[in-house]
Amino acid sequence: MFRTDVAEGVHLIQHANVNCWLIEDDEGLTLVDAGLPGTWRHLQDAVHTLGYQLDDITALVLTHAHFDHVGMARRLIRQTGLPVYAHSRDHELAAHPFRYAHESPIVRYPLRYPKALTVLGPMLLAGVPFIRGINEVKSLAVGEELAVPGRPTVIATPGHTYGHVALHLPDRDAVISGDALVTLDPYTALTGPRVVAGAATADASRALNSLEAIGATKARHVLPGHGDPWNRGAARAATVARRNGMA
C-alpha cells in the first residue's frame, strides 16, 4: 500500500506489515527505514508515482537497524550510492541485523499469540532470509537537524534497540517513531499504540521511558514502523502505549 501525504510531504509505503516513509521537499526525497527485500518494487512504484526516480532519494535514515528496517539498504547503496545514516550504537547491528538483543525468547510469542503468524508470515515471504547487513553507515547525532530532504530532527528513543532514534518533523506536525512506538506489534498482532514485545526489544524499561520523548514532540501525526499512522497526537499515543505496557 502507498499513501501520499499522511502528513504534509510525508508518504507511506506499507508492505508485509512493515512501514517505510518518504519525506519530500524541493531537494528531493529522504527514505526513512528500508523495509524488506520484497518492498523494492513498491518503493519503485511509490517514487515514480511522486514523479521522481530512485536517484532522487538522496539519503536513507534508519530509526534502527533490525533486519526488517534494512532489507533494501544494500541494494539501494549498490544502485544509487546514497548515504545511510544511523545512530552509532546501531552500526554493528546494521552490519549484522539478525544479531539483536531482546529480553524474551522469540519462540514463546507465536505459541501465546497465534495471530502473530498472520503478521510475521508475510514478512518472511517478503524476503527475510535474503537480508544482508551493510557496513557503509554514517553516524547521526541526537538533537541534530539532518541535512537531508525534510530536515528531520533526531530524538533519542533507546530501548527497542540501544541506538534507536525517532525523527521529528515540526513543520509537518509529525514524528516518525520507528519501533519505539508502534500501532501493530508484529510479535503479538495487538494493535493500538504500544511498544514492541520483548521478543525484539533490548531494554523494556528504557523503551517505556522513551515514550516520553515521543510525547514531548506534541506532534499531531505519529508515524510508526509497524501499523497505521496515529493522528490523535503524540502525547496521547505515548499515554496509551505506556498504559498498554509490553507483552
Domain of 21, CATH number, reads: 3.60.15.10
Residue 201 in grid coordinates? 526489544
Host domain of residue 161: 2-244
Please compute the mean of the pLDDT values over residues 221-246 and round it to a whole number. 98
**With 90 as the cut, is the pLDDT of residue 85 above it?**
yes
The string of DSSP letters for 135-168 reads ---EE--TT-B-SSTT-PEEEE-TTSSTT-EEEE
- Tell me the average pLDDT across 80-99: 98
What is the rounded CA–CA span in Å between residue 201 and residue 206?
10
Is the per-residue pLDDT at 58 higher than 90? yes
Cβ neighbours, 10 Å, residue 31: 28
Q: What is the mean pLDDT of residues 108-134?
A: 94
Tell me: pLDDT of 111 over 90.
no
pLDDT digits (tens, 9 = 90+) for 166-189: 999 999 999 999 999 999 999 999
Which of the four pLDDT bands, split at 50, 70 and 90, describes residue 108?
Answer: confident
pTM for this one? 0.97
Structural domain count, the chain: 1
User: Which of 194, 75, 84 is CA-nearest to residue 136?
Assistant: 84
Name residue, grid cell 513498491: 42
27 near 58, Cβ under 8 Å? yes
